[in-house]
A and B are shown apart, each in its own frame.
Chain A
């Protein structure tokens, strides 16, 4: 039980980390535009920002290439959040007295740090690097101990002169229904992007950036988009294939301008992934650990779903209601003691209201339920999850240099653990800023 709580806590911790990348004020400095040009509410992209990203960080007005820039321009940006965070977690196992307790931590500090550099290279290329340094001293206790290259890719755009063919090579974000790296909440991410059915050996989480290749395309104004990412499953023992532990993620999406004052725009998409995770490997004679590159017996797992986004009243300061549903299926061989495939369904409804460009009110309800446990003898709803998040963001500085936002946020997540539903709650009052 202690192990399960630790696993749940670790998973929660991973979700609690603020999304990396997000806003890149280096672009605002380069083009001398306000952050609100590309962000509905930063770091969430609006249609203009999405097209700018799809075009390889270009506005295509003859000012994109490095040689067009003043030599003093340096395309680096940083983002972090400072403030106070209170976290409470029920059901934490303790030895003395034996049983569980509720932990409470109130800390002043900061959560995460992203150092970003991105831009256009030459006529048709782009790059993005996001470095997240190790944060052993982070006050919220959520910082990773080790540094990580969160993103690292080079993009090739408008191949053969068409926007329908672009390639990103390197560690990149799969095309998600709602980009977790540009999430508006800081204490709770999108759990469906990180969910594994109980006992699962697979490690692919679409919410994490993937090392691989993304091929994507779009119409000139992004009315239709497609994206296919081929990657190696994160954190898996490498199988001895030409592409170790492969996973494919794909999404097709579109947007439609309805040109009326009630519902001026709708967006939607379908997405899915197929991956293969090895469950056998040769072992090191001394340690007994699996040897990377020897794993075999790849077993399949899939995720698929759909998303719908309704923008009410305005396309630029909208009441944005988003619904996402995702189904998961994993082969029984991937499940500890599995005798049948493991299946689950999850989803969330999120309401973002952006009454003006500097206010954002966010509410989200998320639920994940196991529809079939791989081990029929286990607790059937182990790991199932319900989460609520409410956030208010007021951006007090929104310029072509920086963004500074006051954040008040609360979230609660309840995860079934050994038949119990311990709750984890977090309140954050902080300042989210990027420069």
Chain B
């Protein structure tokens, strides 16, 4: 028994941390019931605009999916790349709406803003019907994003150190071109090969183009991909330093 005590203490401690952190992230909050009326209005939108890629079951296996790289999102998993919520949690309605409005750059996901928020809100609700996760969990709480400190030389130098210490180059390459040594081994949660972002090529990123979008991506991760969340390892000011450092990669092109 004595030998088990440290394990027990550690387990209870971890459980307490998980519960507390879960409470912070909204994971313990009651699930938000799906608005069936709204979802019903979203169904014809899905059938018209989404089904060819995401499939009738929402599993990302529409008839066009075989030609797409990256593959369309599998809604049945309840895993979404672009979120304001912590890693592992469901996105907010606003997150889903943002992706629907602006699309996902460098993919075949178009921007649907022209359909109007009235339609997109219904579409977002229908998308939730594909995964049981929405009935079991509440969306996560959006992370706080503090204002950016000055983007100066000192900040960029600190960011370079953070880039090195966190081994970002393993995936994104020494110059950020997305050609790191790990690239051949990188797979998403569905076993599809995935390519890290090339920070030198474009300002247009999958989850948004602004510095705030980039900060949010660092701190929430890109769920379903090898890109982790750095919320536990980076302080907010360090994440901003990293954002500022990435500006230098774009300038090196």
B51 touches A34 (CB 8 A): yes
- The minimal Cβ–Cβ distance linking A266 to chain B, given in whole angstroms, is 13
B48 touches A51 (CB 8 A): no
- The minimal Cβ–Cβ distance linking A306 to chain B, given in whole angstroms, is 24
Question: B64: which A residues are within 8 A, CB to CB?
Answer: 32-34, 399-400
Q: Could you say which interface size class chain A belongs to? A: 20 to 34
Q: Mark A320-359, 1 if CB is under 8 A from B, else 0.
A: 0000000000000000000000000000000000001100
Docked CA distance A265–B114 (Å): 12
- The minimal Cβ–Cβ distance linking A49 to chain B, given in whole angstroms, is 9
Question: A36: which B residues are within 8 A, CB to CB?
Answer: 48-49
Docked CA distance A357–B119 (Å): 16
Residues A62 and B204 in contact in the complex (CB < 8 Å), given A48-B112, A264-B118: yes
B105 touches A61 (CB 8 A): yes
A314 touches B44 (CB 8 A): yes
Docked CA distance A60–B104 (Å): 10
B53 touches A357 (CB 8 A): no
Closest residue of chain B to A70 (Cβ to Cβ) is B67
| A126, CB-defined interface residue at 8 Å | no
Question: B110: which A residues are within 8 A, CB to CB?
Answer: 31, 33, 37, 48, 59, 61
- The minimal Cβ–Cβ distance linking A313 to chain B, given in whole angstroms, is 10
Question: A62: which B residues are within 8 A, CB to CB?
Answer: 105-106, 202, 204
Docked CA distance A201–B4 (Å): 103
B118 touches A61 (CB 8 A): no
Question: How many inter-chain residue pairs (CB < 8 Å) link A and B?
Answer: 89
| B115, CB-defined interface residue at 8 Å | yes
Residues A257 and B118 in contact in the complex (CB < 8 Å), given A62-B202, A62-B204, A357-B44: yes
> Which A167-224 residues sit within 8 Å CB-CB of chain B?
220-222
> Which B94-133 residues sit within 8 Å CB-CB of chain A?
103-119
> Which B54-81 residues sit within 8 Å CB-CB of chain A?
63-64, 67-68
| A375, CB-defined interface residue at 8 Å | no
| B52, CB-defined interface residue at 8 Å | yes
Docked CA distance A317–B47 (Å): 11
Closest residue of chain B to A222 (Cβ to Cβ) is B114
Question: A48: which B residues are within 8 A, CB to CB?
Answer: 49, 110, 112, 114-115
A317 touches B44 (CB 8 A): yes
Q: Mark A44-56, 1 if CB is under 8 A from B, else 0.
A: 0001100100000
| A315, CB-defined interface residue at 8 Å | yes
Residues A316 and B114 in contact in the complex (CB < 8 Å), given A357-B44, A399-B63: no
Question: A47: which B residues are within 8 A, CB to CB?
Answer: 114-115
Which of B41, B106, B108, B117 has most A Cβ within 10 Å?
A: B108
Interface residues in chain B, defined as those with a beta carbon under 8 Å from any beta carbon in chain A: 41, 44-45, 47-49, 51-53, 63-64, 67-68, 103-119, 202, 204
A-B contact list, 15 entries, CB within 8 Å: A32-B67, A33-B49, A34-B52, A37-B52, A37-B110, A48-B114, A59-B110, A59-B111, A61-B103, A61-B109, A62-B106, A63-B106, A264-B118, A399-B52, A400-B63
Shortest Cβ-Cβ A-B pairs, 9 listed: A259-B118, A32-B64, A34-B52, A257-B116, A59-B110, A36-B48, A357-B48, A400-B64, A62-B106
Additional A-B contact list (17), CB under 8 Å, known A48-B110, A257-B116, A265-B116: A32-B53, A33-B110, A36-B48, A37-B48, A37-B52, A61-B109, A61-B111, A62-B204, A63-B106, A220-B113, A221-B114, A259-B118, A315-B115, A316-B48, A357-B44, A399-B63, A400-B67
